[in-house]
Chains A and B, each alone.
Chain A
Amino acid sequence: MADRVAALSGPQGPRPRRRFSRRNIIIYGTLAVVAFYYLLPLYVMIVTSLKGMPEIRLGNIFAPPVEITFEPWVKAWAQACTGLNCDGLSRGFWNSVQITVPSVIVSILIASVNGYALANWRFRGADVFFTILIFGAFIPYQVMLYPIVIMLREIGLYGSLWGLVIVHTIFGMPILTLLFRNYFTSLPEELFKAARIDGARFWGIYFRIMLPMSLPIFVVAMILQVTGIWNDFLFGVVYTKPDTYPMTVQLNNIVNTVQGVREYNVNMAATLLTGLVPLVIYFVSGKLFVRGIAAGAVKG
């Protein structure tokens, strides 16, 4: 190799590149500054939640804690007060779990069957309903808030967890149906035809052929729904009672309470606790999350 190179004269091999070219400095410099700006709030949340109140009052919010204390976390989880209840965010956490789990399951089941029916079993009028559904995704929730209150009251579910499950199923339906319909449409149609010739019917094809092939899209839908429902505030505050408030509503009540001294460290611990579930999902799921939001962006 060496003698070969020596035989050539003049420019050869790759273009000379300086590691610190102006282009690289601009690109990486900008990205580093932006990344710093994006990470700052998370950092401040963490350090604040680990400080004691005296240190917060004296010090600087960016300074790392001199003395690390986990007391704010304990307090936020088990003792913080909202109104008369003083059992901390734990109540909201468990409420949110109780809301999120059935909502995710029910909404995904219904939407996947819808999407499957729309993709493979076209019937007259299906497209009309689907168009209404997609337009529904753009209607401000405020327009439909009160009619749903009346409907839930009529069936006796207003204020209950199951009422909220229905609400999440309804409002998750447009985007999830779209997601599943597009996915099922992308599967080879021959597969569906072959199954029909083999005598499989609606549910047979759904459970035996479509479901096993659609695991990734179910995971995407799950990520979309878990973060969406966990982060919901509006439906929680409208359709539940203080006892059944989801975590976001309870968090807001704890932090924005007007009574007593503001304990910023407890507030930040509570905020972090509430953000923890979607954050963990985000960091674990990576590319699937990106796929989910790209598909779910229509939800707005």
Chain B
Amino acid sequence: MSDRRPNRFFRNMTAKIAAVPMILTALCVFVGGTVWTIVHSFTDSKLLPRLRWDGLDQYERLWNTNRWIVSIENLLIYGLCSLILSLIIGFVLAALLDQKIRFENTFRTILLYPFALSFIVTGLVWQWLLNPDLGIQSVIRGAGWIGFTFDPLNNSKIVIFGVLIAGLWQGTGLIMVLMLAGLRGIDQEIWKASRVDGIPMWKTYLFIVIPMMRPVFITTLVIIASGIVKLYDLIVAQTSGGPGISSEVPAKYVYDYMFQGQNLGQGFAASTMMLLAVLVVVIPWAYLEFGGKARG
């Protein structure tokens, strides 16, 4: 046995080698790729990326493009509605399932199955259901209500809500499951204590259980928010951004400029803006979640 201390670098060498894919992914793709894209968003790259500086021109052009403004508006409307509605619906459904009901598993299975389906499938089904000539609108008109109008996919003012219906159908099951797990994590004796205190159930939920579930709500919020920014497939399948540009979203803007419009610089600038939006949500959360713990 040598009495010299082994070199630090060679300690756990196998573990380090085994972690090479992770290190490469973290450094080359996540850090490297992000930096590369940000750097190239300041160039005038067109068909091919090139490092010819263009200052903030791409961003200026971006914010002067009507389609980008519409995309951002759509994302804000969709994001806000889907955030609030899926939290409320998800929590209410979870609370209903938590009432020691019969057929709980059946209900949960039904509420969650859309989440197993892709956004493409979701978008196409709802495109069909919302078809003005043969879908829900025509059925209700056929039932005698002649003046009934429900045609969101062809009305540029409300098209984003047509997408929202499909998005909620696909995603609320997940929120419900997360909320249900949160509810099940509440100490049963809290419920007993509130019954002995004579507090009605709705008040217990509102003043005791929901405040106790704050971490679950925050995590869920971050999950929904970071998912909303990525909204892409659903739009492609359900509306292709139409009518006109009225249901465009940032992710689609990026794709179209990068791979169809041969205007890479615009794509990079737009995707950098998306990254910025995500950071605005994630950094405060990470600070609260992990920074807070370090302080005790």
A residues neighboring B (CB under 8 Å)? 27-28, 30-31, 34-35, 37-42, 44-45, 48, 56-57, 60-62, 110, 113-114, 116-118, 121-124, 126, 129-130, 132-133, 135-136, 138-148, 150-151, 169-170, 173, 177, 201-203, 227, 230-234, 237-238, 248, 251-252, 255-256, 264, 267-268, 271, 274-275, 278-279, 281-283, 286, 289-290, 293-294, 297-298, 300
Contacts and interface: CB of A to CB of B under 8 A. Distances in A.
B27 A35 contact: no
B278 A140 contact: yes
Given A133-B26, A146-B267, A252-B237, 9 more contacts: A113-B18, A113-B19, A114-B22, A129-B26, A136-B30, A141-B230, A233-B120, A264-B131, A290-B177
A275 B121 contact: yes
B150 interface: no
Contacts of A62: 139
Contacts of A40: 129
A146 B139 contact: no
A185 B212 CA distance: 26
Contacts of A255: 124, 127, 237
Interface in B127-176: 127-129, 131, 134-136, 138-139, 142, 169, 173-174
A252 B120 contact: yes
27 contacts: A27-B96, A41-B129, A45-B128, A60-B138, A61-B129, A117-B15, A121-B15, A133-B25, A133-B26, A139-B34, A141-B230, A142-B254, A142-B270, A144-B34, A146-B49, A147-B36, A202-B18, A255-B124, A267-B128, A268-B128, A274-B121, A279-B116, A281-B116, A282-B116, A286-B109, A293-B174, A300-B223
B272 interface: yes
Nearest to B259: A238
A202 B274 contact: no
Interface stretch (B6-14, B50-58, B64-72): B6-14
Nearest to B19: A117
Contacts of B107: 31, 35
Contacts of B271: 140, 142-143, 145
B91 interface: no
B73 interface: no
B125 A45 contact: yes
Contact of A148 (B22, B29, B31, B112): B29
Contacts of B270: 142
Summarize A's interface: helix, strand, loop or mixed: helix
A271 B116 contact: no
B118 A231 contact: yes
A49 to B, nearest CB: 10
Given A123-B12, A132-B31, A148-B33, A114 B18 contact: yes
Given A39-B110, A146-B267, A297-B223, A31 B120 contact: no
Interface in B75-123: 92-93, 96-97, 99, 101, 105, 107-121
A290 B275 CA distance: 29
B178 A294 contact: yes
Contacts of B128: 44-45, 48, 61, 264, 267-268
Interface string B214-248: 00000010010011011011001100100000000
Contacts of B134: 56-57, 61, 264
B4 to A, nearest CB: 19
Most chain B CB inside 10 Å of its own CB: which residue of A56, A169, A282: A282
Contacts of B223: 297-298, 300
Contact of B275 (A124, A132, A143, A227): A143
Interface string B269-288: 01110110010001000100
A148 B259 CA distance: 13
Contacts of A45: 125, 128
A117 B118 contact: no
A35 B111 contact: yes
A38 B226 CA distance: 24
Contact of B21 (A110, A123, A147): A110
Contact of B14 (A35, A169, A203): A203
Most chain A CB inside 10 Å of its own CB: which residue of B40, B117, B119, B178: B117
B267 A271 contact: no
B14 A201 contact: yes
A126 B278 contact: no
A229 B92 CA distance: 31
Contact of A300 (B96, B230, B275): B230
A202 B29 contact: no
B30 A147 contact: no
Nearest to B22: A114
A230 B131 CA distance: 27
A123 B120 contact: no
A142 B12 CA distance: 36
Most chain A CB inside 10 Å of its own CB: which residue of B105, B126, B254: B254
B168 to A, nearest CB: 10
Contacts of B250: 142
Nearest to B270: A142
Contacts of B135: 61
Most chain A CB inside 10 Å of its own CB: which residue of B108, B120, B232: B120
A143 B37 contact: yes
